[in-house]
Amino acid sequence: MGDSEKKIIKISVRNLVEFVLRTGDIDNRRTSAAEKTAMQEGSRIHRKIQRRMGPDYRPEVSLKHRVSEDQFQILVEGRADGIIDHPEGVTIDEIKGMYMDLSYLEEPIPVHLAQAMCYGYFYCFDHKLSGAVMQMTYCNLETEEIRRFQVEKTFEELEEWFQGLIHEYMKWARYLYIHGVRRDESIRELPFPYPYRSGQKELVAAVYRSISRKRNLYIQAPTGVGKTLSTIYPAVRAMGEGLGDKLFYLTAKTITRSVAEESFSILRGQGLYLNTVTITAKEKLCFLDTPECNPDACPYAKGHFDRVGEAVYDIIHQETGINREVVLQYAKKYHVCPFEFCLDISNWVDSIICDYNYVFDPNIRLKRYFSEGVSGEYLFLVDEAHNLVPRAREMYSAAVYKEDFLLIKKIIKPMDHKIARLLDRCNKELLEMKRECESFRILEDIRFFVNNIMSLFGEMEPFMEAHQEFGDRDLVLDFYFRLRDFLNIYERLDENYRIYTELCHDGRFMLRLFCVNPSSNLKECLNKGNSTVFFSATLLPVSYYKELLSGDPEEYAVYAQSPFDQGKRLLMVAGDVSSRYTRRNRREYQKVVDYLRAIVSARKGNYMVFLPSYQYLREVEALLAQSMGQNGEFAYRSQVSHMNEEEREQFLQEFSGEREDSFVALCVMGGVFSEGIDLKAERLIGAVIVGTGLPMVCTEQDILKDYFDEKEQKGFDYAYQYPGMNKVMQAAGRVIRTVQDEGVIALLDERFLKPEYQALFPREWDGYYEVRLNRVGEVLKNFWSGR
């Protein structure tokens, strides 16, 4: 077999050296200079240093090297920050920006030097050179002070070192080759596991077509289409054709992760040989009550890196669907940190099921896949994609609070007067901003304040390194990381951001960097892969989501045909009720109660009522109690704010089992029970939705409105109407979960009869009844009598 015919196993220089060379403990007491450099790769400081280096300096040089084995090749690739080629020899420059005091560095950090040595070996090999100088250039991001270390190596020394590195990696590469061959063979004959529902085959074809063309796709997929299987199956088929080598299934909620796990399991039942890992939040994986990642507090952190390789090798050979329980089982067996173990498993599986954060959040995303200069043959499936808009705004925004500077000053002052002075300086600047702010205020420029934050952050780095234990250290460390996040987001500021100050309801004063339109930030991540499929049952209007998720109005979009028999669902719109703020009075609340009683009395069963706010819920609940008296017509229970997981489970248990009477759950629209709740068949037969779901008027929504008005778009629609209707459609979607379900959806607000709201109705809502209280019983009777 010639080299050109061999399968290629790709790995980045950084991932190779970090994977092979890691040893010792996990220790978060160190603020981790390495982490800071990872956050800053490719930033302005790289470019600034590169520009200063003169005409002999070549920046950002892509290098790669192939190592040939019997059946495959290992392709190691990366990008050297700089190469200086002069008559005396070649110098490989590796630049790392950090906030720490460089005087603490006595020698280059080993993994950084190892990266430079890889590039040195590749360059010497390609150019037949006898050796090279590896130069580590460390730069303090605050002072721009530079410190350099140089290590000279002959070609023979570099070659021997690199061969040792590859030798350690070889068994892993061999696993990837053998696994990949077996996986692709299983995919070739993989059938779709069920007979296609109406419109499902066309949806599967659209997903495959968009991946094959390396395009993004938006799917509006009504409930019952089977969208999870309809996206995973064609993506897996595309992987078998070499159109992707790692599939990311991205979700916003735990329940949708389990649906994805089940879909992969179904395909394995059809003969698919493909492994997956579900990445779970650290708090849910940690063996300790509170994660404390250092060898003194956690026995699993001590020596973790010495054992984790063996643990990973074992689990990938024994398991295919690696979920939370499986990770915990092996982590206990090998005595390793389950969260870090889970992240390492992700390197060796075909598909990763995880929260949006692990791909998009600049602080949390998986650096091994998404840091500067790293990309791959990734395929992204974004489930419940409507949730990504608010989540992305949150990920790419940052804030600081004046009161925190005073609190941290109080803690640190006895230990470090210089940091206390810098905290005081920042506090005084925020005080000036506060005096000029009546409620909220848009700012154009905060450069001077940011310079002071950088000075403070630079001083806190060595302080946190030097002071490993003191009272309230956790508070100081959290503050330190918030400063880091603020500085990193500040680097991203462009026309898609607004800077503002606000006097918060709790009395605090906030300075916020608010990402209004996250599309350019998201696209930075999406461009690292081949294709993205965004799908949801509520992705309307699709132009809105294109604008905010990828910024490209020309992206592909499909509207999946619903297989559901519309005769099994009654959609009613009430023309004699209003939830407008100006109409919120006892008379309107009583109408809602009367509608509810009429709907529930028409057929015994379980119902959910979605109300605009907790205040509205309390008003309805009080009238409900009065009007039904001691012997109620049905049982009811109200959602309360800040329910924990156990309380939510107990709430949902009310829908299970046989009841003598009907049950009504009073919920808040947009809350935890508005989406991701799967109550099939008789467990839920009706949803009553009060109001159009408009977000509360607040600073953030008004800034959104003004931003989109300035862009000659519909500011009110983008800030209020579209997000509101999304909540309405999600709440309505609780009723019809499968093609066998049947039930009632009642929209109680006269605004739903207006053309601008009807234009946002999904196709499946074409046939609805306009009702009034005096005839709603008749409409319900006619519907249920036909069932």
pLDDT tens, 128-153?
999 999 999 888 776 778 899 999 99
Mean pLDDT of 292-298: 90
Mean pLDDT of 622-637: 82
Residue 192 covered by a domain:
no
Residue 433 structure tokens:
């901003």
Q: Are residues 483 and 612 in the same domain?
A: no
Q: Are residues 363 and 227 in the same domain?
A: yes
* CA angle (148, 151, 157) in 5-degree steps: 160
Q: Are residues 391 and 402 in the same domain?
A: no
From CA 48, how far away is CA 50, in angstroms rounded?
5
Cross-strand bridge partners of residue 500: 442, 512
Q: Are residues 238 and 148 in the same domain?
A: no
Share of the chain above pLDDT 90, in %: 75
Q: What is the DSSP letter of 753?
A: G
Nearest residue to 543 (alpha-carbon basis) of 381, 761, 718, 675: 718
Q: CB neighbours (10 Å) of residue 540?
A: 21
pLDDT at 645: 85
Looking at 109, 141, 173, which one is the last position of a domain?
A: 173
Q: CB neighbours (10 Å) of residue 766?
A: 10
Q: For position 85, which CATH number holds? A: 3.90.320
Answer whether 95's CB lies under 8 Å from 81's CB.
Answer: yes
Domain that holds residue 43: 3-173
- Tokens 């099939």 -> residue: 680
pLDDT at 46: 61
From CA 728, how far away is CA 512, in angstroms rounded?
30
Residue 707 covered by a domain:
yes
Answer whether 582's CB lies under 8 Å from 674's CB.
Answer: no
Q: Are residues 384 and 419 in the same domain?
A: no
pLDDT at 373: 65
Q: What is the residue-averaged pLDDT of the chain? A: 91
pLDDT-derived band at 48, boundaries 50, 70, 90: low
For 707-726, b/e burial (b = at least 16 CB within 10 A) is: bbeeeeebbebbbbbbbbbb
- Tokens 């196993």 -> residue: 9
pLDDT-derived band at 45, boundaries 50, 70, 90: low
pLDDT-derived band at 627, boundaries 50, 70, 90: confident
Residue 139 covered by a domain:
yes
Q: For position 498, which CATH number holds? A: 1.10.275.40
Residue 180 covered by a domain:
no
Given CA atoms 591, 594, 599, 602 in this order, what sign does their dihedral have? Answer: negative
pLDDT tens, 655-692?
987 888 899 999 999 999 998 788 887 899 999 999 99
More confident of the two residues 362 and 55:
362
Residue 277 covered by a domain:
yes
pLDDT tens, 361-378?
998 888 888 876 677 899
Q: Are residues 524 and 511 in the same domain?
A: no
User: Which range (67-81, 334-348, 743-757) has the least confidence?
Assistant: 67-81
pLDDT at 41: 41
Nearest residue to 286 (alpha-carbon basis) of 315, 328, 334, 335: 328
pLDDT-derived band at 126, boundaries 50, 70, 90: very high
Looking at 542, 559, 576, which one is the last position of a domain?
A: 559
Q: Are residues 530 and 507 in the same domain?
A: no
From CA 433, how far away is CA 545, in angstroms rounded?
35
- Tokens 């809105």 -> residue: 544
Mean pLDDT of 54-74: 89
pLDDT at 652: 92
Q: Are residues 636 and 689 in the same domain?
A: yes
From CA 231, how far away is CA 728, in angstroms rounded?
25
pLDDT at 298: 94
pLDDT at 292: 87
Q: Where are the beta strands (DSSP E) in 5-130?
A: 7-12, 57-68, 72-86, 89-98
Q: Where are the beta strands (DSSP E) in 311-350?
A: 321-322
Answer whether 140's CB lies under 8 Å from 101's CB.
Answer: yes
pLDDT-derived band at 35, boundaries 50, 70, 90: very low
From CA 361, how far away is CA 525, in angstroms rounded?
9
pLDDT at 586: 94
Q: What DSSP string describes 581-619?
A: GGG-SHHHHHHHHHHHHHHHHHS-SEEEEEES-HHHHHH
pLDDT at 72: 93
Residue 73 to residues 6, 170, 291, 705, Cα–Cα distance (Å): 6, 10, 40, 54
pLDDT-derived band at 1, boundaries 50, 70, 90: low
Number of folded domains that form the chain: 4
Q: What DSSP string describes 11-37?
A: EEHHHHHHHHH--S---TTS--HHHHH
Q: Are residues 461 and 546 in the same domain?
A: no
SS3 744: strand
pLDDT tens, 224-249?
788 999 999 999 999 999 999 999 99
Q: Where are the beta strands (DSSP E) in 425-543?
A: 440-443, 497-503, 509-515, 531-536
pLDDT tens, 426-459?
999 999 999 999 999 999 999 999 999 999 998 9
Mean pLDDT of 98-117: 86
Mean pLDDT of 310-334: 97
Q: Which of 34-43, 399-408, 469-478 has the highest mean pLDDT?
A: 399-408
Share of the chain above pLDDT 70, in %: 95
User: Which range (406-420, 585-599, 651-665) has the least confidence?
Assistant: 651-665
From CA 695, how far away is CA 608, in angstroms rounded?
20
SS3 122: helix
pLDDT tens, 173-204?
999 999 999 999 999 999 999 999 888 999 99
For 200-215, b/e burial (b = at least 16 CB within 10 A) is: beebbebbbebbeeeb
User: Does the N-terminal peptide bond of residue 762 adopt cis geometry, omega within 30 degrees of 0?
Assistant: no
User: Which range (489-498, 502-511, 731-740) has the least confidence?
Assistant: 731-740
Q: Which of 103-117, 128-142, 158-172, 647-661 has the highest mean pLDDT?
A: 158-172
Mean pLDDT of 700-705: 96
Mean pLDDT of 59-74: 91
Question: Distance of alpha carbon 447 from its chain centroid, rounded?
Answer: 29
Looking at 123, 140, 173, which one is the last position of a domain?
A: 173
Residue 588 covered by a domain:
yes
Residue 498 pLDDT > 70: yes
Q: Are residues 107 and 149 in the same domain?
A: yes
Q: Are residues 450 and 386 in the same domain?
A: no
Q: Are residues 708 and 734 in the same domain?
A: yes
Residue 184 covered by a domain:
no
pLDDT at 2: 61
Residue 25 covered by a domain:
yes
Mean pLDDT of 499-514: 96
pLDDT-derived band at 3, boundaries 50, 70, 90: low
Mean pLDDT of 394-411: 97
Q: For position 230, which CATH number holds? A: 3.40.50.300
Answer whether 545's CB lies under 8 Å from 206's CB.
Answer: no
SS3 3: helix
pLDDT-derived band at 621, boundaries 50, 70, 90: very high
Residue 516 pLDDT > 80: yes
pLDDT tens, 242-276?
999 999 999 998 778 999 999 999 999 999 999 99
309: Cβ–Cβ under 8 A, 6 or more apart, which residues? none
